[in-house]
Each structure stands twice: as C-alpha cells, then as structure tokens.
Structure 1
Amino acid sequence: MDTYCRPLALISLLILSLLGASSAATVTTGAPDGSELWGYVEVRPKANLFWWYYKSPQRVSTPSKPWPTVLWLQGGPGASGVGIGNFLEIGPLDVGLNPRNSTWLQKADLIFVDNPVGVGYSYTEDPSLLVKTDWEAAADATALVKSLATQVPALQQGSPLFLVAESYGGKYAATLGVSLARAIRAGQLNLTLGGVALGDSFVSPEDFTLSYAPLLLEVSRLDDNAGDAAKAMAATAQQQIAAGQFYEAWSSWNNLLQFIDSKSASVDVYNFLLDSGMDPVSTTTSTAASNTHLTKYSRYLSNQEAASDPNAIGGIMNGVVKQKLKIIPGNLTWQELSYTVYGALKSEIMKPRIDEIDELLSYGVSVTVYNGQLDVICSTSGAEAWVQKLKWDGLKNFTSLPRQPLRCGSSKLTQAFVRSYENLHFYWILGAGHFVPANQPCIALDMIGSITQSPAS
C-alpha cells in the first residue's frame, strides 16, 4: 500500500515535546519519510490552530510546472476540515480507513486545517479568544500560512497554494485570500497564491436566501402559498442585510429555513431530491435542534458515517487518529461541529464577501466558483446572482461566453459545464448537491486538476 494510504498505522514518529494544552505554540511532527506532517501553530497567545499536510505520491520527478498544494477550508461555520473534508470528501482515506480512489492527492498535495480556533482539534484556552468575524479568522489563518510557508518543504520550494473552500468556508477563503495577496504584494510573505476555489460557498447570503423559494417552487418542494410566504420572509432578511442588521438577518434566515422545513416535508437543503428525515442516524443535540441549518448538517454527516463505519467519524477522530497524531491535548474531544464557534459568528454569518472576490480578481488571482446542481442552501442560482454583482471589468465578456460541457472517464453523459474568461471560472456540476467531491467524485477530481493545472492532469 502507498505511504499515503496507511497514515493511521502507528508508525514511529519524530515528535517535538508538547508539555500540555497550555504550551502548544508551534509544534510540528509527522511521518519519518515526510509523506505527512502535522502540528499546531499558536496564532495568538493561547489560540492554537491544528493542521495536517499530505504529500502526494503522484508527484512527478521533473514536473513541467510546480506541483500544487491545496489548502482545504471547511464551512459550518464550526465544521472540522481535518475530519470532514479529509475523511468524508477528498483525503487519502475514507471514514472506514480504506483508500479513497478519488482522493485529490492524485492532483495536489493537501493541507487540512481545523479553522477557526475552537473547531475540531484546534483550541483556545479562553472562550473569549474565539473569532467573531471572518476577518479575525483570516488574521489567524494568515499567521498559520506564514508558519506553514517555513515548515512545509513544498511551499518553501515554490509550490503554488490554492485555497479551496466549501460552504461557509468560502467566506474564509475570500478574506484569507485577500489577506495573503496583500501580504505577498507587500513583501511580507514569500508564497505563490495559485488561486481561490469556492465550492457551494456562502459568499452572498442575501442572494442565496432570495433563491430558496423560487428554486423549491420550481422543483415542487413548496406550493404557491408556502412559496409566497417564504419569499416575504426572504425579503425581510434582505432588508435587514441592507440596514446592516446582520444578527437580525441571521435570525430571519434561520426562521425561513425552519419554515421551509415545515412546508416541504423536510427537504434536505443540501440536496433537494432528498428528505432530511431519510438519514438513518441523527446526532442532533438540543443545541443543534434550535437551528435547522446545523441540524441538517449534522444529519448529513451522520448519514455518511453510518454508511461507512458503525463507529462514525467521531469514533476514529477521538480514537485511532488522535492516538496516531499524539500531540492532541488529552482533555480535548473532537467534534464534527462546534456550536460555540458557530454562536460566536452569528452576527457575521449574513455579511457578504463579494467585494473581497472583486479584490482578488483585480490582483489577477485565479477565482473559481463551482456549484452542485441539487444544492439549496448555497444554490447555483444564488451563486450566479452574486457573480453578476462583481465590479470586475471582465464580467461582461465572461457572461457572454458559451459554456463548455464536461464528461468524466469513459462516460458519455454530460456531468458538468464550465465557463472561463481570464481569471474567473465557473463550474456547474450536474447531479451533485452541496458536497460536490462526495456526490460527484470523478468530475470533481478532474476539475481540481484543471483548477490547479496539476502536471498529473
């Protein structure tokens, strides 16, 4: 078995001393052959981000282009990239600890991070240190990347770094991308920012909120009466966003999702072809039950876990994975979702990040938007709407171009469309919901190869 396909074996480790949860600072360890690295970076006093790097075994010895590195940013807010993105979507192993045929390691090195502090294996020693804004999260993540630029050999050797995000992670990617681009332009960071990819990303909460009723009416999950009421609720959230009342807008958005749940026979907002009640196991708690969005997210993850391993992802993350890593504080319990992190960001959730995307485009940074056809929470029509709000001077030319159909492997079926102009790219992924790499792994793998221009593409 390839080195990257056996990371959960207990191998001898080169471990730096870790004296306890209060002294993480910068700690790096990993596999003796360098195929994996992981560690903590103390991004602020008593605030520690955990990261995990995998070196791709598909690297070619003399690549025509520098081999790329993908930094995966999970959403939620409060979801663990080290657990979910890694073991449920694109990492070398699935949650049953079996090799994943569609791992993105075939196209790039991978870095997973539990972001922001308080998520997954990342932690703070004081709850007041949790971030309350996307830009605070970006400042911490920038400190992390600056540290990784000196610790990960591939980044030291010029590997371009691609920020790839999912869901709320797209807001992190927007602010982090701008923060890194500014630091690079100011000569404060020696790094190549290859691009930013936004997967089903909550970049413009207003546009997504307004899209729910029309979409669900069109696919017959709401009737006319419920649709009219849902549109009115969405308009309230829109007005509150315009007035800068972001906490109130979050409350209205959440009420809308609960209304949709009650009037649609509990449509799965991550895939409108499904009911959320179809999930065989629910990990919802009394805290999660107060929020429809997080309840459905937990149910989705529980479904994936139950299908792969009876111990679920929490079992491996608090068991064999924690034992392998060795540096996780003993009193830390990994959770797939941190409700305290989510709560700290409630007043930030409904703020748009379109201006940050415009800034990235103005710098010449490659920006990719990709969306699953069946998603509701971050619908394709919502993504198309916010793209139309860009001030980027190439937008008119971009929208005038025809889309190109994409197929995967030996399939003759169209599985996606793509449109590209200069440094903006948009992928429409057919047959996928919110979690594109898990729903359509073949076309997602081809897509990330194209985005990163991997020599293995």
Structure 2
Amino acid sequence: PPFSSRTTVVTSWLLLNCMQTVCSCVPVQAKESWGYVDVREGAHMFWWLYYANSSSASYKDLPLVMWLQGGPGGSSCGFGNFEEIGPLDRDLKPRGTSWVRAASVLFVDNPVGTGYSYTDTEDALAKDVAMVASDMMVLLKSFFSLKTEFQSIPFFIFSESYGGKMAAAISLELTKAVQAGSIKCNFAGVALGDSWISPIDLCHQTPVDQRSLLDDNGLDEVTKAANAVLEAVKQGQYRKATDMWSITENVVEQNTNNVNFYNILTQNSDEMKTSSDQTSGFLSSLKRRHIHPLHRQSLSELMNGPIRQKLGVIPKNVTWGGQAEAVFESMAGDFMKPVVDIVDQLLAAGANVTVYNGQLDLIVDTVGQEIWVKRLKWDGLQYFNKMKWTALEDPQTESQTGAFYKTYKNFAFYWILKAGHMIPSDQGPMALRMLKMVTQQE
C-alpha cells in the first residue's frame, strides 16, 4: 500500500526480540509509531515517530520536530535516533538529554535509499534537493493525513550537515504546500544545524590555519586545492567541484595528521584514517568521511539486528544502510551547489529560520556559515548584524558560558561552544536547551 504503519502503545518498559541464546533488550517508548510511504514508483521512505514523553505536559501541548540527517545517505532513524537525540542511546540505555522530553520527534530516513528507506532500482534514487523535497511532500502529506492529531501542533524541521541543505528546500516547498492547502500542518520553522548551505564558503583555509593545524607549507597546499574547487564552482562544473573538494579534504588530512573534520579536539578512529586503499577514488574518499561515521559497525549491528526485529515491517531484502553509498553517488552532482537563495526565499515568505553551529566543527565551520549569512538579502539583516549576541549559561556547569545567540524577527543564529559537527552528541544539555528556545518553550 502507498502508506503503511505500525503503532506501539505500552505503559511500561518491555523486553523484545529475545534471540536464540542472547536476549536483545529493546525498551519501547510510551508511544511510538513507524511505517513506510511509497513516495514514487519504486521509492519507499521509512519514518519513525516518538510521541513526546514529558512528565509536565501532554504531547498535544508540545511541538512536533522532524530530524533530518546528513551525508547525503546518513540515517536519521539510526544515527540521529540512537547517537544524538532519540530516547535511547546505542547501548539501549535511556538518554537524559533526549529531545523526546520536550517534543514529539519524527525521524525520516531521507533521501530514499537511506537507512531503512529503499528503492527497487538505483534509477529511482534522488538526484538533487528538488527531487528530495518533492519526495518529502508526499511523505508529509501522508503522515499528517494519518496522524491528524498533529495537524494543529507546531511543526519544526531540525537538521544536521547535508540534512540542512535538504531541510531548506523541503521547508520552502512545505510553505507553499501549506499555503495551497495540499498539506495540513502548522509549519512553525526550520533549524539548520552545521548545515551544507553554501559549500563554497566553507572552502577556505582560515579555520584550519587559525587553530594552529597548518604550517606555512601546509597552508599553501590547502589554499591551492581550495582554489581548484572555487574555479570549478565558478564554471558551474559541480560534479568536478565535488571531486576537487574531496582532494582538498585529502590535502587537509595529510597536513594535519588526519584531523577529525567533525570535531578538531577528538581523535579519528582507526577506521577513519586515510590509507591508500581507502582513497582510490574521489567519491570513495568523501563517502568514507561523510557516510561511514554515520554507519559504524556497532550501529549497523543494532539496526540490522534487534531494531529490525522490533519494527517488524522491514522487507527481507532490505539492509539498513545498504544503499547509502549509492545515495551519495546519485547526489554527487548536487553536492557543491549552494541553496542560500532558498534560505532567502524562506525568510521573505515569513518562515522562521534558525542557524546553529558547533565551535569545534571543521567540515562546516562557523566562519563559513557567517560568510553566507552576511550575504542574505533578508531585509532584517542590517539590523541583525548590528546586534550583540547574548550569552547562554552551560546547563551542565553553573556560571560557564555554553553558547551565544542572536535573534531578530524571523531569523536566529546560535553559536554552540565546545561542540563539533554533531552538536547533540557533544553538548546534549545545550542542544536540548536550544531546542526549547527555538520552539518557544523558554
């Protein structure tokens, strides 16, 4: 069927999926639901909903948040759920900073082919963010038609990395769909976390240089590689620019003893370090950096074992993450294209837009984010730029600053300290506080 789902309602923690000799204990939330939507012929998208689980408010009084992962090809239902903001961590222990404490959370494996989502043939994979947004409109229309209780609840889209690029395009199409009446929901805003909005503005050496990660020789090599990316983008050769970007990342790694692009203070694991057989092609290098960290072996075992059995709707021929690399390759020609114009259109339409970024992120550094923000055509930008930011206390450490933020009209920017690319993983309490502020609970 075009839309299929399963809902689980329990009043206590249950133990599921007892295997032959080992019991895989998968606690079930108070109420959760999941299923597939056929967004196109041969394209099947998986979603997983957790109803808000708050001791002080009903889910009807709390917002609905959709989380979109990056890559493209990273699984929201896997990484975002079990590594960042879901009710359980990868060890299936309750997460104290889960966003389910403050909102109902909808994870979607997007684009098709990601996570549990799958296509019947590789020809059905999405090619660009326009196609991704079109597919998501089909899913959201089906979701809100089925879950009518969420039609009036404020709906926010939060995202990370390439997920932010997709979230911007999805939000613009959703704004149009809501205005046209084709989707019934209360769209309240989008939050772009460490997002791949303007890749060209991330193609500079300043953050690597200023953090004492390059000497003069290394700086020259990185600058030369980055200039090749800039030239390809100027010529509109986006597939070539993707290849050149991969080379630039290789040069950075070679001159920094394999710096962790996601958090410069965290060491890369052995599986992430460069070797000659791992970087035989440009795309293979990019996939190693941007897909493999989201599909570590332990997470893959969890998703293809106990979680798969719990869900009970995953087709036998579908492996979690099995099409991830194909998704990345299919989107390679779109990888380096900017979507700053889409953010401008969102702001002009009155949509609430939040940008948030981790201080220790290198792959999507805060300096690069500030560059494209300052180029926005939004009519409130001049006033926003003159504002001083406000400090936010670290929820974990009294009297210490955990973040800064500025907000004016329908735009906000959060600078999250001591966090890398995956902010909820690095600074869970601060990320949860930011969620509450963006959704107007604080």
TM norm structure 2: 0.90
Deviation of the 1:294 alpha carbon: 3.0
The structure-2 alpha-carbon separation of the partners of 1:237 and 1:214, relative to structure 1 and needing over 3 Å to count, comes to same
**In the TM superposition, what are the counterparts of 1:271-282 in structure 2 within 5 Å?**
271-276=263-268, 279=269
The answer on 1:257 being equivalent to 2:249 is yes
1:219 is aligned, of 203, 207, 211, to 211
Deviation digits for residues 344-388 of structure 1 (CA, Å, limit 9, x no counterpart): 011000000101101111111110000000111100000000101
2:202 is aligned, of 201, 205, 208, to 208
SS in 2 for 1:268: coil
AA paired with 1:172? M
Contact 1:83 1:336 in 2 (8 A): no
What's 2:358 paired with?
372
Taking the aligned partners of 2:233 and 2:207, their CA distance within structure 1 comes to 21
Contact 2:258 2:274 in 1 (8 A): no
Q: Which stretch shows the higher mean deviation, 30-39 or 284-293?
A: 284-293
Taking the aligned partners of 1:226 and 1:283, their CA distance within structure 2 comes to 18
What's 1:17 paired with?
none
SS in 1 for 2:265: strand
What's 1:435 paired with?
422
SS in 1 for 2:266: strand
Work out the number of aligned pairs and report it: 419
What's 2:171 paired with?
177
- Determine what percentage of the aligned residue pairs are the same residue: 39
The structure-2 alpha-carbon separation of the partners of 1:172 and 1:298, relative to structure 1 and needing over 3 Å to count, comes to closer
Q: Which stretch shows the higher mean deviation, 240-249 or 434-443?
A: 240-249
Taking the aligned partners of 1:49 and 1:346, their CA distance within structure 2 comes to 20
Taking the aligned partners of 1:51 and 1:138, their CA distance within structure 2 comes to 15
Contact 1:284 1:299 in 2 (8 A): no
The structure-2 alpha-carbon separation of the partners of 1:283 and 1:338, relative to structure 1 and needing over 3 Å to count, comes to farther
Deviation of the 1:232 alpha carbon: 2.4
The answer on 1:54 being equivalent to 2:31 is no
Deviation of the 1:31 alpha carbon: 0.4
Taking the aligned partners of 1:434 and 1:222, their CA distance within structure 2 comes to 20
**In the TM superposition, what are the counterparts of 1:55-204 in structure 2 within 5 Å?**
55-58=51-54, 60=56, 66-156=61-151, 158-204=152-198
Contact 1:415 1:430 in 2 (8 A): yes
1:44 is aligned, of 40, 43, 48, to 40
Deviation of the 1:36 alpha carbon: 0.6
Taking the aligned partners of 1:80 and 1:284, their CA distance within structure 2 comes to 23
The structure-2 alpha-carbon separation of the partners of 1:45 and 1:336, relative to structure 1 and needing over 3 Å to count, comes to closer
Taking the aligned partners of 1:297 and 1:336, their CA distance within structure 2 comes to 15
What's 2:408 paired with?
421
Deviation of the 1:57 alpha carbon: 1.6
What's 2:8 paired with?
31
Taking the aligned partners of 2:278 and 2:131, their CA distance within structure 1 comes to 25
SS in 2 for 1:272: coil
Contact 2:239 2:334 in 1 (8 A): yes
Taking the aligned partners of 2:190 and 2:384, their CA distance within structure 1 comes to 18
Taking the aligned partners of 1:162 and 1:390, their CA distance within structure 2 comes to 22
CA RMSD of aligned residues (A): 2.1
SS in 2 for 1:38: strand
Deviation of the 1:225 alpha carbon: 1.7
Contact 2:65 2:156 in 1 (8 A): yes
Deviation of the 1:166 alpha carbon: 0.2
Taking the aligned partners of 1:247 and 1:171, their CA distance within structure 2 comes to 17
The structure-2 alpha-carbon separation of the partners of 1:375 and 1:337, relative to structure 1 and needing over 3 Å to count, comes to farther
The structure-2 alpha-carbon separation of the partners of 1:284 and 1:125, relative to structure 1 and needing over 3 Å to count, comes to farther
In structure 2, stretches of 5+ residues that fail to align are 11-29
Deviation of the 1:450 alpha carbon: 0.5
What's 1:228 paired with?
220
Deviation of the 1:408 alpha carbon: 3.0
2:330 is aligned, of 320, 341, 344, to 344
Q: Which stretch shows the higher mean deviation, 339-348 or 187-196?
A: 187-196
Deviation digits for residues 399-423 of structure 1 (CA, Å, limit 9, x no counterpart): 1000000013352110100011111
The answer on 1:401 being equivalent to 2:393 is no
The structure-2 alpha-carbon separation of the partners of 1:386 and 1:337, relative to structure 1 and needing over 3 Å to count, comes to farther
1:325 is aligned, of 311, 315, 318, to 311
AA paired with 1:146? K
Deviation digits for residues 251-292 of structure 1 (CA, Å, limit 9, x no counterpart): 11111001111111111111122342xx15559996777433
